[in-house]
Amino acid sequence: MAKLPILINPEPALQTKSESVGEVNSAVRKQMQDMLETMYDAPGIGLAANQVNVLNRVLVMDLADTAKGEDKSPICMANPEIIWESDNLSSWNEGCLSLPEHYAEVKRPAIVRVKYLDENNDLQEGEFEGLASHCVQHEIDHLNGIVFTDHLSRLKRNIILKKVAKIKKGMDIL
Ligand code: GNR
Ligand code: NI
């Protein structure tokens, strides 16, 4: 397993739409394991491949609250597709490992059904709501080159982008 560096916005890979995976082979499985290790270490509840500079349609998530004693429950997806979304919306205070230390309310469909290939290359379907729904939609956005600030007003977006740029500059000199 390997822990990978997470890109901080702005970065070309974060603004690029990723390419589909042909099949989930051993190389993609290894990528998924490395992404899970990176996500748990961060820590975060989701991670998209382009956040670690890989431009394929792979994401990982784990919504389990291990602080509450819950067991890990990793979900690995390749080529995820939203096949149904609810009409009603949900708002959640979202954060992003690529936009550190900043959070904002983002409105999205409350419930989504997602079709994807799992780590065994088997076709799966899952329904997500609450935080899991925000997380899977946030990760699919990443695969399309979208970050959560793209959903905000220009004013809120610019405030966060300026502050993140400052944080990124501070990281560069270390
Ligand atoms: O760790 C994360 N928390 C989170 C909270 C609300 C909505 C989405 C997320 S995903 C984020 C990790 C991340 O940046 N994934 O791309
Ligand atoms: Ni993110």
pTM of the full structure? 0.98
3 lies in a domain? no
Cα of 127 from ligand 2 centre, angstroms: 20
For ligand 1, is residue 59 a contact (CB within 6 Å)? Answer: no
108 lies in a domain? yes
Amino acid code (one letter) for 16: T
33 lies in a domain? yes
pLDDT at 172: 81
**Is residue 11 among the annotated active site residues?**
no
Q: What is the CATH number of the domain that holds 53?
A: 3.90.45.10
pLDDT at 80: 99
Query: What share of the chain in percent tops pLDDT 90?
Result: 97
Rounded Cα gap, residues 61 and 76, in angstroms: 7
Q: Which of 90, 53, 52, 58 is nearest to 74 (CA)?
A: 58
pLDDT at 1: 85
pLDDT at 71: 97
- 137 Cβ partners below 8 Å, 6+ apart? 82, 108, 109, 112
Q: Please state, rounded to an integer, the average pLDDT across all residues of the chain.
A: 98
The three-state (H, E, C) secondary structure of 72-132, written as one string: CCCEEEEEEEEEEECCCEEEEEEEECCEEEEEEEEEEECEEEEEEECCCCCEEEEEEECHH
The tally of domains found in the chain comes to 1
Mean pLDDT of all residues in 132-147: 99
109 lies in a domain? yes
pLDDT at 174: 67
The three-state secondary structure class of 58 is strand
Give 29's pLDDT tier (boundaries 50, 70, 90): very high
For ligand 1, is residue 60 a contact (CB within 6 Å)? Answer: no
**Residue 60 belongs to what domain range?**
12-173
4 lies in a domain? no
> Exposure of 169 by Cβ count < 10 A (0-12 exposed, 13-18 middle, 19+ buried)?
exposed
Nearest CA to ligand 1 atom 13: 96
Rounded Cα gap, residues 24 and 64, in angstroms: 24
Cα of 152 from ligand 1 centre, angstroms: 16
- 115 Cβ partners below 8 Å, 6+ apart? 80, 81, 83, 123, 124, 125
Cα of 138 from ligand 2 centre, angstroms: 6
70 lies in a domain? yes
47 lies in a domain? yes
pLDDT in tens, 41-63: 999 999 999 999 999 999 999 99
1 lies in a domain? no
DSSP track, 5-39: PPP-SS-GGGGSPPBPPS---HHHHHHHHHHHHHH
CB 48 within 8 A of CB 143: yes
Mean pLDDT of all residues in 123-128: 98
